[in-house]
């Protein structure tokens, strides 16, 4: 006899925690890389052929909230099956990411260290050389990436919900066609102001124009070495703690947030939030920071940790942990946008006058660059998922990314972000909702909303709901007609006006 729905739900929660713990072990460097195949081998009872008939049978007679919960559980079961099918190849790629290295000036350099080396290289020729080495490494691993993609698509189509894109939409609730339209809208409506500011900043700080620029040049811009902005991780944590305390919020929430500060991370490690058991154990992994870009990464992970750790524990699993993760991403972007706030930067980063104004313009440009890059990735993901010849799309990726960002991209890197499985779609939704949340807080509580009790009350209300509402429903509750790119466009124009 198969599992009941309640048993599926219970096993799903425990297995989800085990997978996140394993991923955290690899990401933090406590293990060389995560290994998911052994974990999935223990859960054959959660195979799609065993779980889907039970859930679909219950769905046939369900309505209202019960139907909503069952559909989310069905989506989780489908994702579980695909991840199980691809686990061995995912492990192989994780091992490559952790161990791959290149020969550079007579020494072996880890591939995952090249990104930080590119950022720190002041000499443009050296940056280009390092960027070429990184692209070459991803070209070598492309056959494995294509095998992963093909297996994902095959596994998803075997679920019985249509081809890969259709299955993703039906099981996750993502309207990919609508998001693609909004991505194009975002690109069109911010094109002129983005290109003008990009040209100005490149001329000023890299001594080149847009027509010459490559993606490593923007990486260099992001360091802002000429501003000497203090961005140590301890100072950021202390600042956020103090701001939250004024709003009546404790960062660690009585131990729910397990703050793990790693003073000597491995190459390529970044801050991370791991919602192991929502809300009881949320790990906030903190690595040393020194640049404005790293500061924003840490703030984003803090925002995500606050959401997961404040979710109402009485909610069912489907409303705590396996709904629309764009809602949690939105909290991440809400807090990362503190680094774009004039009040927050002036109070906490020690900038003022013309230096503050210059920092804010460049930070706003870099944020818009990342947003436009996400839009370009989404448009490419849609083409990639339906292409009969995905191995030929490197030039198309470079074309779309250059069109979105205005700067050259090496086509050999077109499969670098493959592991996210429409992660760009969820990130774009998170950015859209984050912009709406920020506007609401600023209108109600002013630019320094982050240290007011009123904002603290509102944040706790949002967080307690977990994932019970999706990003579109939350947007409507905030008075918007729905979730679209308009708030992002408005914010970009205000910051770069």
pLDDT digits (tens, 9 = 90+) for 374-396: 999 999 999 999 899 999 999 99
In which band, very low, low, confident or very high, does the pLDDT at 348 lie, cut at 50, 70 and 90?
confident
For residues 108-133, average pLDDT: 94
Percent of the chain with pLDDT over 90: 83
Q: What pLDDT does 267 receive? A: 62
Q: How much is the average pLDDT of 190-204?
A: 97
pLDDT tens-place string over residues 123-147: 999 999 999 999 999 999 999 999 9
The mean pLDDT value for 262-268 works out to 70
Per-residue pLDDT at 351:
85
For residue 401, is pLDDT > 70?
yes
Q: What pLDDT shows up at residue 310?
A: 97
pLDDT recorded at residue 417: 85
Question: Average pLDDT of 150-161?
Answer: 94
Q: Is the model's pTM score more than 0.75?
A: yes
pLDDT for 80 equals 96
Lowest mean pLDDT among 5-9, 135-139, 262-266, 351-355: 262-266
Give the model's pLDDT for residue 268.
Answer: 67
207 Rama class: left (phi>0) / alpha (psi -120 to 50) / beta: left
Which of 278-282, 290-294, 382-386, 477-481 shows the lowest per-residue confidence on average (mean pLDDT)?
A: 290-294
pLDDT confidence of residue 270: 86
Q: Would the pLDDT of 30 be above 90? A: no
pLDDT at 265 over 80: no
Chain-wide mean pLDDT for the chain?
Answer: 93
């Amino acid at each position: 006899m198969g599992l009941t729905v309640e048993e599926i739900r219970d096993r799903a929660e425990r297995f989800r925690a085990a997978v996140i713990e394993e991923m955290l072990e690899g990401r933090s460097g406590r293990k060389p890389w995560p290994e998911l195949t052994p974990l999935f081998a223990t859960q054959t009872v959660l195979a799609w052929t065993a779980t889907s008939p039970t859930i679909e049978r219950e769905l046939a007679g369900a309505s209202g909230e019960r139907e909503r919960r069952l559909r989310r559980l069905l989506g989780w079961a489908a994702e579980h099956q695909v991840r199980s099918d691809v686990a061995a190849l995912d492990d192989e790629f994780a091992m490559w990411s952790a161990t791959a290295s290149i020969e550079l000036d007579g020494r072996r350099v880890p591939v995952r260290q090249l990104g930080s080396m590119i950022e720190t290289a002041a000499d443009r020729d050296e940056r280009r050389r390092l960027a070429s080495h990184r692209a070459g490494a991803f070209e070598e691993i492309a056959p494995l990436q294509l095998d992963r993609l093909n297996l994902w698509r095959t596994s998803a189509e075997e679920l019985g919900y249509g081809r890969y894109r259709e299955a993703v939409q039906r099981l996750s609730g993502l309207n990919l066609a609508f998001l693609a339209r909004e991505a194009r809208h975002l690109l069109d409506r911010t094109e002129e102001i983005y290109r003008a500011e990009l040209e100005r900043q490149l001329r000023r700080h890299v001594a080149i124009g847009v027509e010459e620029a490559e993606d490593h040049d923007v990486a260099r811009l992001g360091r802002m070495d000429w501003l000497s902005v203090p961005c140590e991780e301890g100072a950021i944590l202390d600042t956020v703690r103090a701001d939250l305390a004024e709003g009546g919020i404790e960062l660690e929430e009585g131990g729910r947030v397990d703050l793990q500060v790693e003073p000597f991370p491995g190459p390529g490690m970044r801050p991370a939030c791991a919602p192991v058991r929502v809300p009881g154990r949320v790990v906030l992994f903190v690595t040393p920071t020194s640049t404005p870009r790293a500061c924003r990464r840490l703030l984003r992970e803090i925002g995500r940790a606050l959401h997961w750790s404040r979710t109402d524990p009485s909610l069912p699993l489907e409303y705590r942990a396996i709904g629309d993760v764009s809602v949690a991403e939105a909290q991440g972007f809400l807090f990362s946008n503190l680094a774009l706030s004039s009040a927050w930067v002036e109070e906490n980063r020690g900038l003022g006058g013309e230096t503050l104004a210059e920092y804010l313009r460049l930070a706003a440009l870099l944020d818009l660059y990342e947003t436009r890059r996400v839009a370009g990735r989404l448009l490419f993901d849609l083409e990639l998922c339906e292409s009969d010849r995905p191995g030929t799309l490197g030039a198309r990726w470079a074309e779309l990314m250059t069109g979105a960002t205005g700067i050259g991209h090496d086509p050999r890197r077109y499969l670098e972000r493959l592991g996210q499985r429409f992660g760009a779609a969820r990130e774009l939704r998170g950015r859209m909702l984050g912009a709406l949340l920020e506007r609401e807080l600023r209108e109600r509580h002013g630019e320094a909303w982050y240290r007011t009790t009123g904002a603290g009350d509102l944040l706790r209300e949002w967080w307690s709901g977990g994932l019970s509402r999706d990003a579109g429903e939350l947007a409507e509750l905030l008075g918007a007609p729905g979730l679209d790119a308009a708030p992002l466009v408005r914010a970009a124009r205000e910051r770069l006006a």
